[in-house]
Amino acid sequence: MGCRDEMMVRLVGGLTLVAVVVLLWVMPIVLFPRPGINEALELSMVGPLLYIVTLGAGVLSLVGVSLLNWKAEGPVGLGVFLLGLVPAFVLAIVAFGNFSDDRFVPLFFTPVLAVPAGAAIVVASLVMRSRRRGRPLIGCVRGAVAAFAVALWLIARGAADWLQAPYGFDVYGLIAAAAATVLYLGVDARSASRAHR
């Protein structure tokens, strides 16, 4: 793939990411302009399930480093991103204040699951013997920036996002999109496939 083709792929990827973020931001406003009590309650479970799938995909990214010769930069960035979700969600817990509703439970289990998954991904990807380590520090910076973006999103949405439809689904969608972006920017799978030929 030539330089021009690679630039087009990055441009299309960047525009797709912007479109996903905009859609996630407007989705609650458009689909639920005046959310009623318990409206679309199924979304309160879909968001955490999406998060668990994201964690599993993050752990599976280690297979890419080990077997597909991906750069470790992507999984390191993903692990740092997951670890960065801990202060983001703790900040949200402190900012929201009142937790008398069960719909706030995902705010507490999200950082609890992020710590072991993030730490395991960072340590394993640094220990693995990949011929292409990449730049793990750049991956760390990407992960930290993505976690900061999630923190800003959480604070901007506020407690109402968790109490009314979509019950934080947009936050988990953003986490999945940010995790995929951090991983994609760091693994450079196309170069790895060319190196195997």
- pLDDT tens-digit profile of 116-143? 999 999 999 888 866 666 888 999 999 9
Per-domain boundaries in the chain: 3-196
Full-model pTM? 0.88
- pLDDT tops 70 at residue 67: yes
Backbone angles phi, psi at 132, to 5 degrees: -125, 90
CA dihedral 32, 38, 39, 45 (to 10 degrees): 90
CA distance 34 to 44: 17
CA 8: distance to chain centroid? 24
Backbone angles phi, psi at 156, to 5 degrees: -65, -40
Segment 4-16 mean pLDDT = 83
- pLDDT tens-digit profile of 71-119? 888 999 999 999 999 999 999 988 888 677 777 888 889 999 999 999 9
3-state secondary structure of 101: coil
- Using a pLDDT cut of 70, give the percent of the chain over it: 91
- pLDDT tens-digit profile of 152-190? 999 998 887 788 878 889 999 999 999 999 998 887 655
The identity of residue 6, as a single letter, is E
DSSP class per residue in 64-133? HHHHS---THHHHHHHHHHHHHHHHHHHHHHHH----SGGGHHHHHHHHHHHHHHHHHHHHHHHS--S--
